[in-house]
Structure 1
Amino acid sequence: LCRRYRGGVMENSKRKMNSNVPTKECQYGADCYRVNPVHFREYSHPHIENVLAKAPSLAEVKIPDHLNTNKSVFEEQLKIVSKLYPNLQGDSNINPEKKIKMNDTDVPPSSFALSTTSACKAEEPKASSSTSVNKNPIDALFAERRARMQAAQRDKPTCAAVSSAAMQPEAESSASTSNTGISLQQSLPRDINAYFPVVAPRGHMAQKLAAAAPYNFFLTTITASKPTHTEPLSITFQELLDASLGQLESSVQMNFMVDIGWLLAHYFFAGYENVPLLVLYGDETPELRMVTKKKPNVTAVKVEIKTPFGVHHSKMGLYGYRDGSMRIVISTANLYEDDWHNRTQGLWVSPRLPAVPDGSDTTYGESVTDFRVNLLAYLEAYKLPHLQPWMARIRKTDFSDIRVCLVASVPGGHVNTPKGPLWGHPRLGHLLARHAAPVDDSCPLVAQSSSIGSLGPTPESWVLAEIMASFRKDSAPVGIRRLPGFRMIYPSYSNVRQSHDGLLGGGCLPYVRATNVKQEWLKDYLHQWCSRTRHRNKAMPHIKTYCRWSHRGLYWFLLTSANLSKAAWGVYNKTGRFEKPLRINSYEIGVLFLPKLLLDENFFPMEANKKHPPFPMPYDVPIVPYAPEDTPFLMDYLTQ
């Protein structure tokens, strides 16, 4: 055995020397789920290299019967490694008698290890079925995200595999999820600290929320930035389930991407493993399709969209409590580990909303911003019977303490209503015209998002013609005014390279070269990601915000799931005579903060004063433009 081991080490060393394979081995060994070429340029994977060395060509590779990863992931990894290191295949420099036979004993057994590293991911575009190593960089990163989620589902205990006894300090449990072909025989961690990298003290979230008034605007904690772990306006997902907010009776999670194992682990540690949970999601996984079979209290529904160019991109939670009250949370984060790890995300958490008294008028408890009626209109657009009980509950809930406006998008063609436009950028413009104080035209719009769509060959194609036409509005009388400036915060290559996760930190920034070359005018408007004040300078932003400010203060601020894209905000149909004028492809949702409604002032203070707390900007002001040598980070950098 020792001879065989030494022979394997010598063989691997010789192979690395002959084929330029990296000498540093991947820390995950045979459990590696990565399908990003950058990762395979940095780390060696002997279990893959051994398989390739035994075959004359890729087509003749014999895949082991037992794998720690999904078979399709392993096949993808084989293709990447064979392309990067073609000399590996049929390596003639190695004595065939010394080659290690690839069998069950050669693959290290899966251990219950908790990873907190950030994998490279992409969000909005839909995944391609192609498995070519030359696939679109977004598709490659998207496939890796799925692989990571499947690995997490395999290696971590889900609520389907645990009992309430496991909550006891010394308890251990094991179970089999045979319906999914996944076996979980690992011991459960004895406390939540062994499962999640950042855990806030229990029982304090209600106090933290009260202290965050009137804005109730939080950022997620950053694993690699310890100051954020105790920052008053930073929270973890587990805190959204904190008992101090109320005893949960049922909940809804609406999102694009959901790692159901990660999500159910949170519910388990909060003591809500058997509470009814409805999950509406955009991206399909086998675990989401099968979760109800293992957990009858969980209902997972894929939101279908007719157009191939749209996604269910909204990120919202509805929390119903046993006393009849409820709460709304609107976020920018997907429900999986990486989005809550080293990425800057934003959340708005509503106050506790009590049930209206029996016999109340239907208009009783409406918000001054019409938040309740607008939320009902948004949920109605899904046309899902699963949401009807929640809509009934919302109608009987008092929303009068909510003083932010709902700004949403739903797929389809839209016309104005007697109450004004309901969706997309016209909706925001309508609200600004009603409630925003007059803004000096010298104050630019500052947009900030984690992805950039196809904006057209010139600024006038869509940004200035449509976005600025809506976002420039305020309550001043209509007249001849000049168009405000436009600024865009988007991480540069330098920003990402210096991030907590290096270039892999750009995995949440799916902007590609093919789009960038068609709109090179955009560089004149681009600004760096800088967030030293909030200890997030190295935490790449997945948050999306839009605002206007001057030296006097902040005129308004929008937190939303909507990136700067036509699919998210809508585009006017300028040619068709019979189509509805505004076309939107995706579901999006956000909240608009207006000083007049929150503070009865014309501005939010951006620095501390005696009257009101400063608005908690997620980035540093003033913003810093790109230097001439800067370029926006492109997803293509991760595949070069």
Structure 2
Amino acid sequence: MEKTDDINENFSKSSVHSDATNNEQEETDVQPSTSNSFSKTCIDLKTSGKNEKSPLISELDSESNIDDYIKVMVPKEKMAEKLAASRPYNYFLTCITSSPATHNEPLSITFQEIFDPSLGDLESSVQINFVVEENWLLGQYYFAGHIDKPLLILYGWLSGTLPSISEKHPQISAHFIKPSYEIGIHHTKMMLLAYKDGSMRVVVSTANLYEDDWHNRTQGLWISEKLDPLPHSSEKKFGESPTKFRNDLLIYLSCYKLPQLQPWLTRIRKTNFASVNVFLVTSIPGIYNQTSTGYPHGHGRIAYLLAKHSAKINNDSPVVAQASSLGNFGRNKQDWLCGEFLKSFCQGTKIDQLEENPELFIIYPSHNNVENSHDGLLGGGCLPYQNRVHKKQRWLNHFLYQWRADRRHRSQAMPHIKTYCRWRDNKLFWFILTSANLSKSGWGFMTAENKKRVIRNINYEAGVVFFPKFVTKTHYFSMDESDSSTLVFPLLYDIPLTKYTPEDNPFVIDVLST
């Protein structure tokens, strides 16, 4: 299950701390203090789930072990065709083990398909993530035929023997990433794949690297095209995408200051990213000033991109947020959620309609949604919202909508995916797939520093933004086949949305610790 992290509502430049008993805290995905008994329960549930533990990688000596790692088997050498058919969005959901209808869905994939030979002959790779289960991940590489190839792992949760993995597997290097703020987490989910022909690929995901996240949970992935190396004589600026994806990726990876990433930075600079049609949006822990291009990270970055690239939208188009964790927003909805967060995400609204914010719809599973999931209440292991927080903000129920995904065969597969978008009348104006939950830790918050208004980012996060202007060269994405102006964008939940009834309440993780 997702772990919880606490952030003090009165966070200041002189006070960075975590207190499991503080009443002004917010949770996203991790609680740094392992002394907290509730958090310990969450961690145990997250890494155990309903499945038996994967065998040790040293025990893998025959194909008889494959079912312990790969729950959904799909034909090999088909992923390149599947990726080509997904254009121009290149957006997938993960297969759901207990939902056979997803196994053959064109826009559903397994972890193994990311390494399908049809995509290229893998030379080396980087896995950037939060929770990494060593045996499961190495099992995936083993069955893909890549266990002996160089692998760099950056992870955010200390567990198992990852710190010493290179002693047994010298081709693998693992590095724990500790954010500069005690309450922050390394929450990014990203893959870099290098191929023997000199090309590479980038994958931005919402899934941790352990079995449960690839089993019965709804996850999302964006997979780039195969990115070819540039000719040796090319100028540095050549090969950038219209969205400046390469530049933003270099900025993000450089923040780690890891020598092991230097060869990758060099490779990226010499790679042609011109085919990339999405923006990379990130959060890096720190304090950031506004520049001529807005704030560089968090919701401030979203505000700039929406104002610059979104089609002008009527104010009756809601902002729809869907996440696997909700933060501590306080007793007043205007403090952050309907204040700075919504203000950033409603940029793009027609200027003459900006005086009033659009509606905010939040999709988060109700208790009944989870109870009826494939794994029963344990299906809520990835939903760490706590009862003590909800008691202080029951006004939130007014914004909440149930998890319904019958059309994509995932109503019983609880969502660990995080998406944000804005639509009206079957017209989708923009879409974000990201690791960032609906919280201050995920998106940052405004504060004062030396009498200047700055944004403070707590977590490492990464996501991609789809704008029709760059993806389909239109003003919006079609959401219904009756509109053939663009290929239908593959939304994951059912529309119209299903609002909470007066009897509904959001699922709270406390029920799994009693």
- Work out whether the TM-score is over 0.5: yes
SS of the counterpart of 2:477?
coil
Shift, 1:123, TM fit: 7.6
The 1:479–1:521 alpha-carbon spacing in structure 2 relative to 1, beyond 3 Å, is closer
1:363-442 equivalences under 5 Å are: 363-442=237-316
Q: Distance in 2 between matches of 1:227 and 1:480?
A: 43
1:604 has 2:477 as partner: yes
Mapped partners of 2:50, 2:369: distance in 1: 27
Contact 1:547 1:557 in 2 (8 A): yes
Provide the rounded CA distance (Å) in 2 between the counterparts of 1:598 and 1:548.
16
The whole-number CA distance in structure 2 between the counterparts of 1:478 and 1:370 is 30
Q: What residue ranges of structure 2 are gaps of 5+ in the alignment? A: 2-26
Equivalents in 2 of 1:192, 1:494: separation in Å? 34
In structure 2, relative to structure 1, the CA distance for the partners of 1:235 and 1:480 (3 Å cut) is: closer
Q: Does 1:623 align with 2:493?
A: no
Alpha-carbon offset, residue 613 of structure 1:
1.8
With over 3 angstroms needed to count, the CA separation of the structure-2 counterparts of 1:534 and 1:157, relative to structure 1, is same
Question: What secondary structure is seen at the aligned counterpart in 1 of 2:308?
Answer: helix
- Secondary structure of the 2:162 match is helix
Secondary structure of the residue that 1:596 maps to in structure 2?
Answer: helix
Residue 455 of structure 1 and its aligned partner are, at CA, apart by 1.0
Please say if residues 69 and 136 of structure 2, whose CA atoms lie closer than 8 Å, have aligned partners that are also in contact. Answer: no
Query: How far 1:577 moved relative to its partner?
Result: 3.1
Larger helix share, 1 or 2? 1
Shift of the 352–415 alpha-carbon distance from structure 1 to 2, 3 Å rule, reads same
Residues in 2 aligned to 1:552 and 1:224: alpha-carbon distance in whole angstroms: 30
When residues 271 and 519 of structure 1 are mapped into structure 2, their CA distance, relative to the original with a 3 A threshold, is same
What's the counterpart of residue 346 of structure 2?
Answer: 472
Structure 2 residue aligned with 1:126: 31
Which one of the candidate residues 41, 46, 49 is aligned to 1:145? 46
Partner residue, 1:156? 55
Q: 1:428 to 1:557 in 2, by over 3 A?
A: same
Q: TM-score, normalised by structure 2?
A: 0.91
In 1, Cα distance between equivalents of 2:513 and 2:425: 43
1:595 to 458, 462, 468: 468
Q: Which has the higher contact order (CA 8 A, sep 6+)?
A: 2
Deviation at 1:474, TM superposition (A): 1.2
Write out aligned runs for 1:277-426 (5 A).
Answer: 277-426=151-300
Aligned amino acid, residue 126 of structure 1: Q
Q: Which residue of 1 aligns with 2:15?
A: none
**Relative to structure 1, is the Cα distance of residues 157 and 143 closer, same or farther in structure 2, using a 3 angstrom cutoff?**
closer
In 2, Cα distance between equivalents of 1:148 and 1:633: 17
Structure 2 SS opposite 1:548:
strand
Which structure would you say has the larger Rg?
Answer: 1
Counterpart Cα distance in 2 of 1:626 and 1:348 = 30
Corresponding position of 2:73: 199
Deviation at 1:448, TM superposition (A): 0.6
Q: Which runs of 4+ in 1 moved over 6 A?
A: 148-151
Residues 1:360 and 1:125: Cα distance change in structure 2 (over 3 Å): same
Distance change in 2, residues 1:150/1:372 (3 Å): same
* 1:542-553 superposed matches below 5 A: 542-553=416-427
**SS at 1:230 equivalent:** coil
Name the counterpart of 1:218: 92
Deviation of the 1:304 alpha carbon: 1.4
Displacement of 1:130 after TM fit?
3.7
Q: Distance in 2 between matches of 1:191 and 1:506?
A: 28
Change (3 A) 1:236 1:406: same
Name the CA distance, whole Å, in 2 between partners of 1:521 and 1:307: 30
Instruction: Give 3-state SS (helix, strand or coil) of 1:209's partner.
Output: helix
- Aligned-pair distance for 1:398? 0.4
Instruction: Return the alpha-carbon distance in structure 1 between the equivalents of residues 43 and 174 of structure 2.
Output: 21
Aligned to 1:525: 399
Which letter does structure 2 place at the counterpart of 1:388?
Q
Assess, with a 3 A threshold, how the Cα gap between structure 1 residues 300 and 580 changes in structure 2: closer, same or farther: farther
> What is the letter of the counterpart of residue 462 of structure 2?
I
User: Cα offset for 1:438?
Assistant: 0.6
Question: Partners of 1:479 and 1:489 in 2: how far apart?
Answer: 25
Corresponding residue number in structure 1 for 2:511: 637
2:324 aligns with one of 450, 454, 457: 450
Q: Is the 8 A contact 2:28 2:327 kept in 1?
A: no
- The CA deviation string for residues 55-83 of structure 1, in whole angstroms up to 9 with x for no partner, is xxxxxxxxxxxxxxxxxxxxxxxxxxxxx
2:450 paired residue among 557, 573, 577: 577
**Residues 175-204 of structure 1 deviation map (CA, whole Å, 9 limit, x = unaligned):** xxxxxxxxxxxxx33473564210111110
- 3-state SS of the aligned residue for 2:431? strand
Q: Does 1:559 align with 2:460?
A: no
Matched, 1:495 2:369: yes
Counterpart of 1:125 in structure 2: which amino acid?
A: V
- Shift, 1:150, TM fit: 12
2:76/2:116 contact within 8 Å kept: yes
Judged with a 3 Å threshold, the aligned counterparts in structure 2 of structure 1 residues 572 and 461 are, in CA distance, closer, same or farther, namely: same
The CA distance in 1 between the partners of 2:51 and 2:186, in whole Å, is 21
The one-letter amino acid paired with 1:141 is C
For residues 189 and 596 of structure 1, the distance between their equivalents in structure 2, rounded to whole angstroms, comes to: 47
Q: What is the aligned partner in structure 2 of residue 227 from structure 1?
A: 101
Distance 1:498 1:415 in 2: 46
Matches within 5 A, 1:72-221: 124-126=29-31, 128-130=33-35, 135-136=37-38, 138-146=39-47, 152=53, 156-158=55-57, 160=58, 173=61, 188-190=62-64, 192-193=66-67, 195-221=69-95
2:46 is paired with a residue whose SS is: helix
Q: Aligned pair in 2 of structure 1 residues 276, 478: CA closer, same or farther (>3 Å)?
A: farther
Q: Kindly indicate whether residue 270 of structure 2 is the aligned counterpart of residue 270 of structure 1.
A: no
SS of alignment partner, residue 280 of structure 1: strand
Taking only aligned residues, the RMSD between alpha carbons, in angstroms, comes to: 2.0
CA distance in 1, matches of 2:68, 2:254: 41
Identity of aligned residues (%): 46
Give the AA of the match of 2:110: T
Structure 2: distance between partners of 1:419 and 1:523: 36
Q: Which amino acid aligns with 2:287?
A: G
Residues 552 and 603 in structure 1, CA contact (< 8 A), matched pair in contact too? no
The answer as to 2:442 corresponding to 1:568 is yes
How far the C-alpha of 1:552 sits from its partner, in A, is 4.6
Q: CA deviation at 1:148?
A: 6.8
The reply on whether 1:251 has 2:150 as its aligned counterpart is no
Mapped to 2, the partners of 1:578 and 1:189 lie a distance apart of: 63
